[in-house]
Amino acid sequence: MKFNWVFSGDDNPAMQRACIDMEYSLRPRIMRFLLSRLDVDTDFSTFHFDVNVDKKWVTISDKTPSKYIRKLLPDFDQAINGTSFSSVA
């Protein structure tokens, strides 16, 4: 699983720390979501997520195989971008 961090401004130490903190919070939530919908033998290294740090919003990147995007997209926003993501930062 890979994260692409999208933010305005400089890539300063404070922003890097914020991204690390967000990743520690997001990674287990996203993994639980994936495991609840996919087979445990799925190659999760092929999953890519775009994280807009400014808007506090996660999307499934186009780099993720389309068969998984189609399967996950209907429930992804509610499960991952619900009110709890706003409290991550």
List the domain boundaries for the chain: 2-86
Q: What confidence score (pLDDT) does residue 83 get?
A: 56
User: pLDDT of the chain along its 89 residues, tens only?
Assistant: 999 999 888 888 988 998 999 999 999 999 999 999 999 999 999 999 999 998 889 999 999 999 999 999 999 999 999 855 554 54
pTM for the whole thing?
0.86
| pLDDT for position 11 | 84
Residue in the block written with tokens 């033998």? 41
- Residue 30 in contact with residue 59, Cβ under 8 Å? no
Integer Cα distance of 53 and 35 in angstroms:
25
